[in-house]
Amino acid sequence: MTEYKNLGSKDTRSGFGEGLAELGRQNPNVVALCADLTGSLKMDAFARDFPERFFQVGIAEANMISIAAGMTIGGKIPYTGTFANFSTGRVYDQIRQSVAYSEKNVKICASHAGITLGEDGATHQIMEDIGLMKMLPNMTVINPCDFNQTKAATLAIADYQGPVYLRFGRPKWPNFTPLGQPFIIGKALLLNEGADVSIFATGHLVWNALQACQVLEEQGIHAEIIDIHTIKPLDEEAILASVRKTGCVVSAEEHLRNGGLGDSIAQLLARNHPAPMEMVAVNDQFGQSGKPEELLKKYGLDVPDIVAAALKAISRK
């Protein structure tokens, strides 16, 4: 299988911060808004280097989203930053009316998504956000897998005209995609070719899927690993082509099963090419406090869970 090395673990939110600072230098229309989480979102460099284009709104996320929507009138490209929970659930109606329905060029950048937020517990561990955002017409939903990809995505969405939800996380996580790899919105990334099972993963779990691939390889099973960094629009062609080849599917994500990547893939397959499918995701429950690695294990998102799901999917062929 294709070898992927951890180039040194880094948090994906820092990839966002680096990308944003670079955008500040590249594009004078990029502005940033933050709701009292500048350090957590790694927006400090942008705030320091471009103070006239950085807007601290305080703990007032609804106001932040609507201000961002207003700033697009006049040609600005606003990047809003707060935790994923406060970027989506808390401000759903503001996003729905003033961003998605109004087709405004706002980039909603959300950190601390998913269970790997860890010790802060369920109030902050949102695992419904992909579902909330993908349900909105006009919304693009992106969940990059590592530092380099998050940075690349942060840069790429500035060149795309329209609302975007960019989701990333808190913990240091293996960084393995090549630095400077171009990010193409809506284009699935084939990481390993295989003929026995298609594993579609998004966000942090792409790394887990690669680990699972190795374990499966040792058992003589060749898994195809595809990074679905863009959940909407979904790369339907790539997914269908892979499943036509392998005949069975595993999805893996740090999100609820309801509304997540797996649910999008299942819809696609049901309409076009039904195939046995297993979903590695959290099933209809809230998280709890704990260390990220403990939580991944507890909620069935770890490497052995993906291996087991792959074996089960293959057995159902």
Nearer CB in complex with other proteins: 66/149: 66
55 binding other proteins? (CB under 8 A): yes
Q: Which two tokens stand for residue 70?
A: 């207003």
Q: Which of 63, 214, 288, 289 binds other proteins (CB under 8 A)?
A: 63
Q: Which two tokens stand for residue 17?
A: 């911060």
Residue 53 CB, nearest distance to other proteins (Å)?
Answer: 7
Active-site residue numbers?
61
Based on the number of CB atoms within 10 Å of its own CB, is 175 exposed (0-12), middle (13-18) or buried (19 or more)? Answer: buried
Cβ count within 10 A of residue 176 = 21
Q: Which of 23, 47, 67, 223 binds other proteins (CB under 8 A)?
A: 67
Residue 82 CB, nearest distance to other proteins (Å)?
Answer: 13
97 binding other proteins? (CB under 8 A): yes
Residue 56 CB, nearest distance to other proteins (Å)?
Answer: 9
Nearer CB in complex with other proteins: 29/258: 29
Provide CB contacts within 8 A for 113, sequence distance 6+: 83, 84, 126, 129, 143, 167, 168, 169, 203, 254
Number of residues that bind other proteins (CB under 8 A): 31
What DSSP string describes 231-251? EES--HHHHHHHHHHHS-EEE
H or E element that contains 84? helix 84-87
H or E element that contains 217? helix 205-218
Q: Which of 49, 103, 159, 237 binds other proteins (CB under 8 A)?
A: 103
Residue 25 CB, nearest distance to other proteins (Å)?
Answer: 17
Q: Which of 71, 243, 248, 282 binds other proteins (CB under 8 A)?
A: 71
Cβ count within 10 A of residue 160 = 15
Site for other proteins, rule CB under 8 A: 31, 52-53, 55, 57-58, 60, 62-63, 65-76, 78, 93-94, 96-98, 101-104
